[in-house]
Amino acid sequence: MATLTQLKYVIEVSNRGSMNEAAKRLFISQPSLSKAIRDLEEDIGITIFERTNKGISLSMEGVEFMGYARQVAEQAELLESRYMNAKPSPQHFAVSTQHYAFAVNAFVKLVQQYGQEEYELALRETKTHEIIEDVKTLRSEIGILYLNEFNSKVMSKLLDAANLHFHSLFTAKPHIFVSVQNPLARQSKVTIEDLEEYPYLSFEQGEYNSFHFSEEILSTLSHKKSIRVNDRATLFNLLIGLNGYTISTGVLSADLNGHDIIPVPLDYHETINVGWISHKNAMLSKLALAYVEALQEATQKFDIV
């Protein structure tokens, strides 16, 4: 029978992705932590973590086990805080997302509503493949990405193989983001031909630089001028400094991004289905459910198809 302490150990190792880092956070030695987890694995008859020379990761059985472990630990914390006058444990939640302002807005609302004196949260704006891996291994409970006609077959197959489910948030028509100083900003809509002389900005996808993992639709188009970046702030700075453009949903946040960048409709017959992914074998935590609700509130007005 697993003890609550063992469950907390497993959760910490999963959160850290490192036995050594988890041991430091738990204030125990790494050999003691390793032994406690091996004892648990022997007791329940499964391998929770796969150990290789590259590090440690959850096994397929471990992913399912973690879903239950997190629920038990969360319920235990509620009991302690309700009946034993114990100090609430720091809250944990992580989301991995493509570079969307509404995902940040929802995260801000989550912290404002549910942040205790202590919490440990993570918002990872990252590459598409890493979003899928993060949710697959429960490093993040929620992932945010999009599907469209071009990538849906490949992406759906990957999500199924990872035991993940896609939940649609909104469907949008394609837009470009440009500086208010860009000549294209004065047009009611732009065509592909209008964009030819302007620098095209896109997000780097690393070793998984497949067209299907691109954050931007129409990823197979060739461009005379092309720049790849890693973060949203850099991309927006280049939109302004170089009169560049990027292709996205048209959803912006003036609160976060100011008024220097605006969306302009792109005259192209295509739709973008933006949604969130979760693991089929893991029940969402209270914070994850609250974040999904914040996402829905932040995007309900953006279903513009």
Residues 89 and 108 occupy one common structural domain:
yes
Contact, 283 vs 230, CB < 8 A?
A: no
Gap between the Cα atoms of 278 and 132, Å rounded = 9
For residue 137, the model assigns a pLDDT of: 86
Give mean pLDDT, residues 141-161. Answer: 94
Give mean pLDDT, residues 58-64. Answer: 85
Q: What is the DSSP string of 85-109?
A: -PPPPPEEEEEEESS-HHHHHHHHH
CATH classification at residue 296: 1.10.10.10
Residues 10 and 114 occupy one common structural domain:
yes
Look at residue 86 and tell me whether its pLDDT is greater than 70: no
Residues 292 and 220 occupy one common structural domain:
no
Q: Which of 125-129, 199-203, 210-214 comes out lowest in average pLDDT?
A: 210-214
> What's the total number of domains in the chain?
2
> To the nearest whole number, what is the mean pLDDT of the chain?
87
Look at residue 303 and tell me whether its pLDDT is greater than 80: no
251: in domain: yes
16: in domain: yes
Residues 269 and 284 occupy one common structural domain:
no
Residues 36 and 137 occupy one common structural domain:
yes
Q: Which domain holds residue 238?
A: 171-273
pTM score: 0.75
For the chain, how are helix, strand and coil distributed in percent, rounded to 5?
Answer: 45, 25, 35
Q: Which of 142, 145, 102, 146 is nearest to 122 (CA)?
A: 142
Residues 11 and 134 occupy one common structural domain:
yes
Sign of the C-alpha dihedral, residues 107, 111, 113, 115?
A: positive
156: in domain: no
Residues 265 and 282 occupy one common structural domain:
no
- Which of residues 72 and 255 earns the better pLDDT score? 72
Contact, 294 vs 169, CB < 8 A?
A: no
For residue 274, the model assigns a pLDDT of: 96
- DSSP class of residue 284 equals P
Residues 282 and 269 occupy one common structural domain:
no
Look at residue 305 and tell me whether its pLDDT is greater than 60: no
Residues 210 and 195 occupy one common structural domain:
yes
CATH classification at residue 244: 3.40.190.10
Residues 298 and 232 occupy one common structural domain:
no
